[in-house]
Amino acid sequence: MDTNRWNIAFTNMIRQTNLAAWGNWTLNPSVVPGAVGILDPVTGSFTAVATIPGARIIRLASPESWSVESSSVHKSESDVSFAGGYLDPSSGTTVTAGLDVAWSFSQEGSIVSNATLLGRSLVDDFGSLMQANYPWLLSQAKSVGYATDAGISQGFGMITQVTQCAGGVNIGSLTDNSTFSLTGSVDGINAMTGGGEASAKVKGSYKEADENKSFEKHLWPAETDKVPDADIGISFQFASFAGKLIMPTWIAPLSGFSFLFNNSHGGTYIADCSVEYTSASSGSQKPISTSISVAGGQAHSIGGIPLDAQNVKVTIHLEAGDTFYFKFPTPIASLLNGNAVFDIYGVWPWSGRVEQS
């Protein structure tokens, strides 16, 4: 696996709890709020181009432990002694006892990410800031080939918020049955691995690292016997464009929205489904509506809903049954992967139900 594949795997694991996030597997220091550049949707790698002018950065402190890991990873801790003492960079004092943390990887391709989070840093009112700076952003996009006659291309945009840490460890195993460990002061190792009581005051550090086989690894701080000179982002969120339209939480290229009506769960109701919305690009101020009938045992979709659609209303009427309503005021901000699924259940004459995901 190369570094890009590790970043994909890392991002996919983070998205099990936060669909909007991208992982910063390499602990790239250019991942900061307000950074403008290119985000590759295939690899998740960010290339900084500039920093947006006039950004006001809000810092939300919330120290906590961070742990993202594959099921095949086992973590263990043990006390160590330092003969003659060790000058701890995290506290600036000499300590005689410390901590060793080891990760065992039973399978190649396993991942662990441990850190002590400081909180989040975000760009205040980033939508208004990006709109106000659109001519400048367009010029930056043109300079790297991310603009057309329609405006800025998807994949170019700005980092809107970053989850930062005082120390961190990202490790990926390149072989089966491998072990990686860090040794250092209790404070320094805990700050790097998310152990002990989470504190924003203590910076990560370590005395030595040891591995019995090959690993893809990224540590913060990157060197032994030092504390980091800055905080680092371990995950982030990104806003992009589709022409002049801001995509506030961009996780993949989108051409439009699609709504799938799945009536294949053994039900007998016929579902009359419709999607109504407004769109500035349609040239009409009146709502646009599309409908479809979905019999039991079938699944059909309504697609082609434009990215600038607003006030989307989905109606599902079960013939001889109930009617269900769903609203998406601004789908560009809520349907991050471009689609919504409606699972339809029920056998007549008993009541039916619809679940949206």
pLDDT tens digits for range 261-309: 999 999 999 999 999 999 998 887 899 999 999 999 999 999 999 999 9
Mean pLDDT of the 150-163 span: 98
Residue 313 is predicted with a pLDDT of 98
Amino acid at 208: E
Report the CATH number that the domain containing residue 295 is assigned in CATH: 2.60.40
Domain boundary among 200, 220, 247: 247
> Residue 284: which residues within 8 A CB-CB, separation 6 or more?
none
Mean pLDDT of the 65-78 span: 95
Structure tokens at 257: 């929205």
Return the H-helix or E-strand segment holding 86.
strand 73-87
**252 domain-assigned:** no
pTM of the predicted model as reported, rounded to 2 decimal places = 0.93
Residue 246 is predicted with a pLDDT of 98
| pLDDT over 60 at 31, yes or no | yes
| pLDDT over 60 at 13, yes or no | yes
Residues 98 and 241 in one domain: yes
Using CA atoms, how far residue 289 sits from 46, 292, 327, 339, in Å, is: 39, 10, 14, 17
Residues 287 and 198 in one domain: no
Residues 127 and 23 in one domain: yes
Residues 82 and 178 in one domain: yes
**208 domain-assigned:** yes
Residue 95 is predicted with a pLDDT of 97
Q: Which domain holds residue 318?
A: 257-356
Residues 150 and 171 in one domain: yes
Residues 228 and 316 in one domain: no
Residues 205 and 262 in one domain: no
Residues 69 and 110 in one domain: yes
Residues 113 and 181 in one domain: yes
Residues 242 and 275 in one domain: no
> Residue 32: which residues within 8 A CB-CB, separation 6 or more?
51, 121, 159, 162, 233
Residues 189 and 331 in one domain: no
Please give the tally of structural domains in the chain: 2
Structure tokens at 88: 């701890």
